Structure 1
Amino acid sequence: MSNVAYDYIECYIRSLIEEHKDVLKELEDYAKENSVPIVQKEVAKFLELMISIKKPLKILELGTAIGYSAILMSISSGKKSLITTVERDNNMVEIAKDNIEKYKFMDCIQVVEGDCLEVLKNTKEQYDFIFMDAGKGHYNQFLPYCLKLLDKDGIIVADNVLFRGMVAWDKLVVKRKITIVKRMREYLSNISDNNKFVTSIIPMGDGIAVTVRRN
């Protein structure tokens, strides 16, 4: 149980989602066998939905791991989106690059090795969709740079924003996670500024926040 939604609700929602085949199934199996965290099943479906609706031409992803969500988003766009995904773990970078080459996504996915904040500071590209899934305690630092790189009508989707329910309820907070919880609460407070943004916080998976600028 994630402490974000009741376990019976999670189980029911997941039962409605068709199992992936081919490349995504292989990546899911690898992640499970090697204890590599990837987006949860319902979050993967949500990303697929958002890409289908927005039809972004350029996507920035913070946090690559084995390349699962980048490949998922590429498939969801029919390989029409150019995706830049940033990862600081050298081992994950190599695995992700191998997967992208193995499954022939080289033309639409670029892996950038480096610290997300440093990469954001030095990037001048513009994106119409940004997916945050790295450095859970640093989302608030990422935000100003993401906004500079985000097109006027772009979307930011942030994963893990309720962090095992701890962000929403003090009784769940583990002492060693207090800093992450405080920083995530600050991020959610900032993107909930009604004068600047329209944000929806969704209790799905480990919590998702979807943010757009207020026109």
Structure 2
Amino acid sequence: MSGITFDYNEEYIRGLIYEESDILREIEEFAHKNRVPIVQKETARFLELMLTIKRPLNILELGTAIGYSAILMSMYSSKNSKITTIERDISMIEEAKKNIKKYNLQNRIEIKQGDCLEVLKELKDNEYDFIFMDAGKGHYNHFLPECLRLMNKDAVIVADNVLFRGMVANNELVKRRKITIVKRMRNYLDMVSRNKELITSVVPMGDGIAITTRRKY
């Protein structure tokens, strides 16, 4: 389990999630078989909920992997929505393209290859309604200024893995080789929590989710 909540809570919550999509189930099976990290089930359901409420038209994703979350977001957002997703790993991109083409979503999902920070700097200001941050766990604090520039006034940032297996909240869980990631993730959470122009809620679900938007007053 994730180390974020008690195992019995995770098992119970996941048991409540009815999987209605054969598309997602097929990609999940591939990911588990090939040890490709994808969002946890409860995080996927949370994204579905947020997209149903928000109905964003322009979505930005940091970290494509094999296209699982991009396809999920495409399925559960407006049919007119466009998703831009960034990935540096060529092999992941090739697999993601296969999945996107297989489900005829090429016109709605665009993959940009490259380093996230470099690609972010090339994108237009105030372009996105919804940003899903799921790449380079040790670089969320570096991504944030660019994401704030790119999001429109009503946009939402959803950042995954912010409690990182419980290490961010508990020093006793920190593994030596993960110290840098943990420090930087703590820095990210501090940045979004202390900025008076933003409001952020951290949810101990999956591997930890932080939801950030601009204050309206």
TM-score after normalising by structure 1: 0.98
Gaps spanning 5+ residues in structure 1: where? Answer: none
User: How far apart, in 1, do the equivalents of 2:57 and 2:110 lie?
Assistant: 14
Q: Which residue of 1 aligns with 2:215?
A: 214
Contact 1:74 1:80 in 2 (8 A): no
Worse-superposed segment, 21-30 or 88-97: 21-30
Letter in 2 for 1:172: L
**CA positional deviation for 1:107:** 1.1
Q: Does 1:129 align with 2:130?
A: yes
- 1:11 aligned partner: 11
Kept in 1: contact 2:141–2:188 (CA 8 A): yes
What's the CA shift string for 1:137-178, capped at 9, x where partnerless?
000000000000000010000000000000000000000000
Which secondary structure state, in structure 2, belongs to the residue aligned with residue 138 of structure 1?
helix
5+ residue gaps, structure 2: none
Equivalent residue for 1:41? 41
Aligned to 2:146: 145
**RMSD after superposition:** 0.9
Give the deviation of 1:108 after TM superposition. 0.6
- Measured in 2, the distance between the counterparts of 1:7 and 1:81 equals 36
Q: Tell me what 1:191 maps to.
A: 192
Give identity over the alignment, percent: 65
Counterpart-to-counterpart distance in 2, 1:131 and 1:194? 19
> Which residue does 1:104 correspond to in 2?
104
Shift of 1:194: 5.3
The question of 1:200 aligning with 2:205 is answered: no
- Between the aligned partners of 2:209 and 2:105, the Cα distance in structure 1 is 26
2:15 maps to 1:27: no
- CA apart distance, 1:78: 4.6
Structure 2 SS opposite 1:30: helix
CA contact (8 A) 2:83 2:110 kept: yes
Aligned equivalents of 2:119 and 2:186: distance in 1? 24
Give the C-alpha shift of residue 210 in structure 1.
0.1
